[in-house]
Structures are given as structure tokens and as C-alpha cells.
Structure 1
Amino acid sequence: MARLAQYTFGVLKSPLADPSPLTREFYDLGGTVYQTISRHPGYLAHAEPTDAARGELFGADWGAWGEFAVPEWYDKGRTPDTTALAATLSLWTDPRSAFDAVYTGPHRTALTRRYDWFERTDHPNHVLWWTPDDATPTWQDGVSRLEHLHTHGPAPHAFTHAGMTPDTRPRA
């Protein structure tokens, strides 16, 4: 049975190291969101660095998830002091579980505040794809599929929650 991979990406209005109350609020709420999502039915795993400090994404060791990567349109900093992005890479048993985790509970609350923290762009902010049971998706997989989605629209290779069709479901 295949597993569903999900990559999310957003450009923040200020760097992760910004000490402002708004940035702290984003981090505090993010911690609650991750704790809740990690207990959600259908959740399998998400990419976590093995030993990174807050805001250290590019130099961190992500293990089997591969080297951290971002879409070509990201044009802000890449150091712990200048990085201004939020990205996730996760694995799910099925689309319904991933959808429910994103659009209910604390994550839903965070989504209502996204424009306080994130820049508005013409780029998609998430992409989904099926991966074999024995594969761990990499950051580069997520980036290439998000860029494909932006350029070509939804397809079996790269789709969104709204773009789920019979063609995007794995074959038995």
C-alpha cells in the first residue's frame, strides 16, 4: 500500500530569528500544532532535524529526508539569522487523515492567521504525492513536485487536497 507524502512551504514576513511577539506567537502556535498533528489518526512521520537549533534548516542533518531544499522562487536568507520560511514534509496513510489534520483543530486556527505571518504569493503552498511504503520522501522531492504543480497544475505526480481525483489515487 502506498503512503501519502505532503510538502508545505511558505515565505514568512520576517526571519525566524526575529524576536517580535508575532514571530514568537507563530513558533508557540507551531509547537502546539505539531504536537496535535503527531497524534492525529493516519499520521506516520514528519521530517525533523537530528540536532538543529531554532531556525537552522539549511545546514541541519535531516537523515533519510535528505538535504533541506526550497523552491527556486524563495529569495530570502539561508542562515539561522536570516531564514524567513516555514516548510514541512510529512507522511500519511491516506488523504482524508492529512486533510482533517490540516483543516481542523489547532492547524485550522493557525490557517486563519496565516496572512499575519506569511507573504501572499502566486505559488502553491502545499503539494501531495504517493510514495511506496519503503520510501522516505526527501525535501528535494517536495520542492520538485511543488514547482511542477505551480508550472503544470495538478496531476497524478503532484496534486493538492482540492485536486484529489481518481487519477491521483494509487493503483492497487
Structure 2
Amino acid sequence: MSHLALYTFGVLKSPLADPAPLTREFYDIGEVVYRKIAQHPGYLGHAEATDGAPGEFFEANWGAWGEFAVPAWYDKGRTADTTALATTLSVWTDLRSALDAVYTGLHREALNRRYDWFERSGHPNYVFWWVSDGAIPTWRDGVSRLEHLHDHSPAPHAFTFHHPFAPDGTPARTKGIGPTSDQDH
């Protein structure tokens, strides 16, 4: 049985360590949203550092999730004081579960405010791919697939809610998403 890997990446307008109210708001909301997402049906787990403080991505030990990596277009800080990114790496049972988690509740509310916190980069901000049962995707896997999506458009190797693929590589459609959907996700 396959599971769905999801990598998200965004460049923040200011570093996570910035004491400005908008940055603190993003950080505080993010913690609450992450706790809610972790309780969502279909959620299997996410990359967590085994050591390190909040904002320390590059030097943290991510265990089986591998060495931390970011897309080539990220050109901001890499220390706890200068890092200006928000990223996740998670595993889900299926596309519908991920869709429901992303587009409902607190995450939906936060998503509606994304341009308050994130720069518009012209690059995709998330990518899906299938992993075999028990496999743990790595940060480098996520970066590679996000860059592939940017360079080559959706494919079984790297896809989006709008253009999903089944584990066997065939185009998929889940009610409310997919190439023939009228909904904008």
C-alpha cells in the first residue's frame, strides 16, 4: 500500500526571529494549526527535529527524514536569527485526507492569510508524491520533487491537488479536485 508524501515550502517576508507582531502571529497560529493537522484523519506523521530550537532548521537532526534541504531559489538566512521560511514534510494515507486537512478549519483560515506572511515567489509552494508503505520521505526528496514540479509541470513523480496521480501513475480524480474540477484549489 502506498502513502502520500507532502512537502510545503514558503519564503516568509521576515525572519522567524523577527519580533514584529505579524511574524509572531504567523508563528503562534502555525503552532496551533500544526497540532490540529496532526489530529486529522489520514495524517500519519511529519518531519520533526530530534534536537534544536524553533527556527533552527539547517543544523537540526531530522533523523530518518534526512538532512534539511531547501529549494535552490531560497536566498534568505540560514541561522536561527535569519531564517525566513516555513516548510513541512508529512505523510498521509490518501489525497482526500490531505485535501480536507488543508482546505478546512484553522488551516484554511491561515491559508487565506498566506500573503500577509509569505512572499509571492513564482514557484510552487507544495508538491505531492507517493511513497511505499513504511518509507519515510526526506527533505531532499521534497526539494527535488518541488523543483521537478516547477521545471516540468505535474507528473506522477511530482503533482498537485489540481493535477493528481494515483499510486500506479495514472491521472486521478478525487471529488472536488483534479483536472475536470470546477473548484479552484
- TM category (shorter chain) comes to over 0.9
Instruction: After superposition, give the CA deviation of every residue in 1:41-75 in whole Å (9 maximum; x if it has no partner).
Output: 00000001012111100000000000110000000
Where do 1:89-168 residues align within 5 Å?
A: 89-164=89-164, 168=165
Which structure has more RCO (C-alpha within 8 Å, separation ≥ 6)? 1
Q: Match for residue 6 of structure 2?
A: 6
**Where in structure 1 are there 5+ consecutive unaligned residues?**
none
Q: Matched residues in 2 for 1:163 and 1:70: separation?
A: 23
Give TM-score, length-normalised by structure 1: 0.97
Considering fraction of residues, name the structure with more helix. Answer: 1
Distance 1:126 1:54 in 2: 21
Cα RMSD between the aligned structures?
1.0
Query: How many residue pairs align between the two structures?
Result: 169
Residues in 1 aligned to 2:115 and 2:17: alpha-carbon distance in whole angstroms: 19
Of the structure 1 ranges 138-147 and 25-34, higher mean CA displacement relative to structure 2 is found in 25-34
Residues in 2 aligned to 1:159 and 1:171: alpha-carbon distance in whole angstroms? 13
Match of 2:177 in 1: none
Unaligned runs of 5+ residues in structure 2 are: 170-185
Residue number in structure 1 paired with 2:168: 171
**SS state of the match for residue 5, structure 1?**
strand
Partner of 2:44: 44
SS at match of 1:22: helix
Once the two structures are TM-superposed, the CA of residue 101 in structure 1 deviates from its matched residue by 0.4
Give a deviation string over 1:117-157, Cα, whole Å, max 9, x none: 00011100000000001210000000000000000000000
4+ runs deviating over 6 angstroms: none
